[in-house]
């Protein structure tokens, strides 16, 4: 870090109340020219923290909970941008793990973009920096982060006064912790095992960005129903964060807990969430810990270990279970469903499997267009405008 940062408008300084309410952005770049260019664009609307390399940026992320967006170069001393992204995405704290990371790249540097995206980059801006583009990206990601933070704060507030989450009608975090203490005490008295599972929706930030508030709420209710229907009556499930759930499975050892996690993962993955015009494939990451198998002093340690394993599952690519540092269980190989023919599609509809057809509707309807046109000509249905509108909606070729 360089000295005398208070001389620059918008740079964060302790006790600076005038900018305390602004969204906070961490700018990581070894080029003072680039940092000044970013500062010039963002200083009016954002509280800026600067770092000259990835290691310094990482230290800021560890200590400053205000940071809502990271803007980073890739080529830097000590710790480059790729390694910084990887550290962020593997962080134990959800706040750090999900922070948006905007990478500064050359306009035609597709290789850098692909590598950064594979590491977990959220977005990109090109050099030379386009002020309008940078401001728009920073605003969008900061606004999304603020919305998710408010959603989590609302969830925590409701947990303080109720045993049930009002959205999903699952138990609240407050009730879950009380029940977990009771179940853990019972398991120890009777020398039984108790499995605790933490479940998180993969890529929730981008799902929320795509769906918006109301559709995301419907997604959470839909998923809560799937999870609840997969569990036994003696199991306890709660929504403990915006997109995270926790499960208690009494009298369930490591192997049975692993099998349960696989059923939960498969139940969510086997059918998409349909919200016109979206048909989203929803995958889950899971962290499993079993009292009586895993050494732990108490509930707090069990919860922390389950969260650590959940983080490992997400860092390994998601859609999987982690039961320890060297035991991350990938999903089983699944056959990729091809576009069914029309006869098969009709049979699936009759069998109540309409959800599986949602991703293939555009292709299926496009196949019907020649038949509809033939019927229109033969039967004089005057359906030409409607068929043409369907063709344009689907992007079908004449």
Q: What does the mean pLDDT of the chain come to?
A: 83
- Percentage of the residues of the chain whose pLDDT score is greater than 70: 83
Tell me: the pLDDT tens digits for 230-251? 999 999 999 998 899 999 999 9
Tell me: the pLDDT tens digits for 172-218? 988 999 999 999 999 988 888 999 999 999 999 888 888 888 999 99
Rounded Cα gap, residues 252 and 294, in angstroms: 13
We find that the CATH architecture of domain 162-329 is: 2-Layer Sandwich (3.30)
Tell me: the pLDDT tens digits for 55-65? 999 999 998 88
Residue owning tokens 């699944």: 334
Q: Give residue 343's pLDDT.
A: 72
Could you tell me which of 220, 380, 351, 248 has the C-alpha nearest to residue 306? Answer: 248
Tell me: the pLDDT tens digits for 297-328? 789 999 999 999 999 998 888 999 999 765 56
Q: Give the tokens for residue 85.
A: 């992204």
Residue 113 in this model has a pLDDT that exceeds 90: no
The reported pTM is 0.54
E strand spans, the chain: 24-28, 47-51, 67-72, 101-106, 123-127, 194-201, 236-241, 244-250, 273-275, 278-280, 284-291, 320-322, 328-329
Is CATH 1.10.1660.10 the classification given to domain 5-152?
no
E strand spans, 146-260: 194-201, 236-241, 244-250
Q: Give residue 356's pLDDT.
A: 64
Which strand (E) or helix (H) includes residue 301?
helix 299-315
What are the residue ranges spanned by the domains of the chain? 5-152, 162-329, 342-394
Count Cβ atoms within 10 A of the Cβ of residue 298 and give its class: 0-12 exposed, 13-18 middle, 19 or more buried: exposed
Tell me: the pLDDT tens digits for 100-110? 999 988 756 78
86 against 342, higher pLDDT:
86
- Percentage of the residues of the chain whose pLDDT score is greater than 90: 37
Average pLDDT of the segment spanning 76-99: 85
Average pLDDT of the segment spanning 344-367: 70
């Amino acid at each position: 870090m360089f000295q005398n940062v208070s001389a620059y408008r918008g740079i964060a300084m302790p006790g600076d109340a005038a900018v305390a309410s602004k969204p906070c952005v961490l700018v990581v770049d070894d080029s003072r020219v680039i940092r000044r260019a970013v500062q010039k664009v963002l200083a009016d609307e954002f509280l800026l923290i600067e770092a000259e390399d990835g290691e310094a940026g990482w230290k800021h992320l560890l200590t400053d909970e205000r940071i809502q967006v990271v803007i980073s170069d890739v080529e830097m001393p000590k710790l480059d941008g790729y390694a910084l992204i990887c550290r962020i995405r593997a962080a134990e704290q959800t706040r750090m793990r999900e922070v948006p990371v905007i990478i500064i790249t050359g306009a035609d540097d597709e290789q850098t973009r692909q590598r950064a995206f594979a590491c977990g980059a959220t977005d990109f801006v090109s050099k030379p920096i386009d002020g309008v583009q940078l401001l728009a990206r920073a605003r969008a990601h900061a606004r999304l982060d603020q919305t998710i933070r408010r959603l989590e704060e609302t969830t925590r507030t409701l947990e303080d006064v109720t045993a049930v989450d009002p959205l999903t009608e699952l138990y609240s975090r407050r009730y879950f912790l009380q029940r977990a203490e009771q179940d853990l005490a019972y398991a120890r008295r009777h020398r039984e095992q108790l499995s605790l599972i933490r479940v998180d929706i993969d890529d929730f930030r981008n799902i929320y960005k795509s769906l918006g508030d109301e559709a995301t709420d419907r997604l959470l209710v839909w998923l809560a129903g799937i999870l609840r229907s997969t569990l036994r009556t003696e199991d306890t499930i709660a929504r403990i964060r915006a997109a995270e759930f926790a499960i208690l499975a009494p009298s369930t050892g490591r192997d049975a807990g692993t099998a349960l996690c696989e059923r939960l993962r498969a139940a969510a993955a086997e059918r998409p969430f349909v919200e016109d015009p979206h048909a989203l494939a929803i995958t889950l990451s899971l962290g499993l810990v079993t009292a009586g198998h895993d050494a732990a002093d108490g509930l707090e340690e069990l919860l922390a270990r389950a969260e650590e394993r959940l983080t490992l599952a997400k860092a390994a690519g998601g859609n999987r279970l982690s039961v320890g540092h060297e035991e991350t269980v990938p999903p089983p190989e699944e056959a990729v469903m091809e576009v069914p023919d029309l006869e098969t599609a009709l049979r699936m509809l009759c069998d109540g499997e309409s959800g599986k057809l949602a991703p293939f509707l555009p292709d299926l309807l496009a196949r019907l267009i020649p038949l509809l046109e033939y019927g229109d000509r033969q039967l004089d249905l005057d359906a030409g405008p409607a068929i043409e509108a369907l063709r344009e909606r689907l992007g079908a070729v004449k």
